[in-house]
Amino acid sequence: MNITISARNTVVKDSFKERVEKKLRKFDRFFDDAKAFVTVTNEGERETVEVTIKAEKLVFRAEKTTSDRIDSLESVCDLLFRQIVKNKNKLEHRLKASAFNAEYDDAPYQPEEYQVVRTKRFPVKPMDVEEAILQMNMLGHSFFVYRNGSTGEINVVYKRNNGAYGVIEAVEDEE
């Protein structure tokens, strides 16, 4: 697994980098060729560890904030492992055949039922990001779909857990 570690408002020591690599190597059994992006952020007394694993057309992401970055890393790895195991039946054809051993095959699996209960249709108007954020806030939503006025593409603006905003821009498949 190719691992990229970045830091915001902090310095990542070699000992922590080694711990990250050791923890993420456990996910090698699930993926043939994967890339992991680890971001460590310090905000006062809070340490946030965010891990994104990209493999084939799959993306797994988890983020945890605690007072200790090692605790955050442990929690994030547990969350990622649960995501993969929870969806193993849906993902088996994309993951390594030997990824799941008998220990997990005996676990009771309850497939999730996805039920669409409502479909909304609405006109998507061209606007800039600031106007889309304003519209989202006025509606009291956590995301808003709009057409980017400069590119003409459909984008989504959303409010992040830390109070900042993000934009999702659809792109063609890179693989």
pLDDT at 93 over 70: no
Structure-token pair, residue 171: 């792109």
d(CA 175, CA 13): 33
Does any domain span residue 114?
Answer: no
CATH code of the domain containing 36: 3.30.160.100
**Claim to verify: residue 75 and residue 22 sit in the same structural domain:** yes
**Claim to verify: residue 8 and residue 77 sit in the same structural domain:** yes
What tens digit of pLDDT does each residue of 10-31 get? 999 999 999 999 999 988 888 7
| Share above pLDDT 70 across residues of the chain, in percent, rounded to a whole number | 83
Does any domain span residue 120?
Answer: no
pLDDT at 99 over 60: no
- What's the mean pLDDT in 39-55? 91
Considering only CA atoms, which of 43, 99, 35 is closest in space to residue 72? Answer: 43
- What's the mean per-residue pLDDT of the chain? 84
CATH code of the domain containing 131: 3.30.505.50
| Structural domain of 25 | 2-105
pLDDT at 90 over 80: no
